[in-house]
Amino acid sequence: KPGEQKSSKEPLPSPCMHLAVVACGDRLEETLIMLKSALLFSNRRLCFHIFAEDSLKPEFEKKLKEWPSSYTKKFEHNIYPITFSVGNAQEWKKLFKPCAAQRLFLPVILKDVDSLLYVDTDVLFLRPIDDIWHILKEFNSTQLAAMAPEHEIPKIGWYSRFARHPYYGTTGVNSGVMLMNLTRIRSTHFKNSMIPSGLTWEEMLYPLYQKYKNYITWGDQDLLNIIFYFNPECLYVFPCQWNYRPDHCMYGSNCKGAEEEGVSILHGNRGVYHDDKQPTFKALYEVIRDFPFEDNLFQSLYYPLQSKFLDTVHTLCGRIPQVFLKQIEKTMKKVYENRVIVYLGANHRY
């Protein structure tokens, strides 16, 4: 404020928000667009933990270095090889999608990381990661991970109709966006269906897989559902707008949180960014992909998005464009307000 004496002490840097992703096969571009969406809107510094096949590492390094310095200074990154600490590595690698089971081993590998947000490569952030990171503070004393339900309506949910193994709650949970307190995971002994006493996370994974491998369809997600079926007190369930998928709109709109607040995190599973089945999801992916980093967000991102959405109004998901636009518009306004405040402060224009 005017007239106030400025402190000689520099503010301490904000602690890092840790974001992990696993990329194998043809997921390089998708992963980079996801990381880009995280950077565009987030406020605090980000630490990226990228688990990738050896052949992808040089390309990741090259592409990340090409980003402008105004963005590269907002994050640090580490690229790790695909490794599994227990069991048969080839078996884990082939479980469901290539390398997806790597996420099960994050608490074991990232021993110095306290908390982490894991996302699939086909995720897009439409608001700051800071906002989902705050959910960690809402955990009670027994909760150590957070996920969204697999479906909102049990009678049309996959788990409630077809699962041949235990799963969490009435509809199961989706592991594409998973917030984890790794410190708690490492120190907990989990109830299980194999022995009367508890097992650590690492001790439990391979025996659990061996027991249920003939009954699981969705790989590591099914294993997580089994774990939290036996340990429901360990899971915090966040609302569907934090993991919004085509299922939330292709059978009619069934995510109330997104209708009220807008989509916070978009999860384009089913390959919808790359085909024409869900043009609304594809439009968001392409606009963020094509956005030049240092351009005007409204001019080069929001307006093109509005224009593309006009072509999708005939589709089930396209009939509710406000659900997709509400949060991203709010987020961009905040970005500009923050920049204006910083600019005014720097120039002493009060």
Per-residue pLDDT for the chain (350 aa), expressed as one digit of tens each?
333 433 434 444 458 999 999 999 999 999 999 999 999 999 999 999 999 999 999 999 999 999 999 999 999 999 999 988 887 777 877 776 768 889 999 999 999 999 999 999 999 999 999 999 999 999 999 999 999 999 888 878 888 888 889 989 999 999 999 999 999 999 999 999 888 889 999 999 999 999 998 888 888 999 999 999 999 999 999 999 999 999 999 888 999 999 999 999 999 998 999 999 999 999 999 999 999 998 888 899 999 999 999 999 999 999 999 999 999 999 888 877 876 765 566 555 44
Q: Is 18 exposed, middle or buried (0-12, 13-18, 19+ CB in 10 A)?
A: buried
Q: How many Cβ atoms are within 10 Å of 158's Cβ, its own excluded?
A: 16
Q: Do residues 175 and 104 touch, judged by C-beta distance below 8 A? A: no
Per DSSP, the residues of 42-75 read --S-EEEEEEE-GGGHHHHHHHHHHS-HHHHTTE
Instruction: Copy the structure tokens of residue 267.
Output: 């999860």
Closest CA to 59 of 32, 96, 95: 32
Question: What is the rounded radius of gyration, in angstroms, for the C-alpha atoms of the chain?
Answer: 21
Domain locations along the chain: 17-238, 241-347
* Cα–Cα distance, 193 to 226 (Å, whole number): 9
Single-letter code of the amino acid located at 288? I
Question: Which CATH superfamily is 17-238 part of?
Answer: Spore Coat Polysaccharide Biosynthesis Protein SpsA; Chain A (3.90.550.10)
Residues 6+ apart with CB under 8 A from 224: 104, 147, 173, 175, 178
Q: Do residues 165 and 216 touch, judged by C-beta distance below 8 A? A: yes
CA distances (Å), 9 to each of 6, 43, 222, 348, in order?
Answer: 9, 21, 50, 19
pLDDT given at position 180? 98
First and final C-alpha spacing in the chain: 8
pLDDT given at position 10? 42
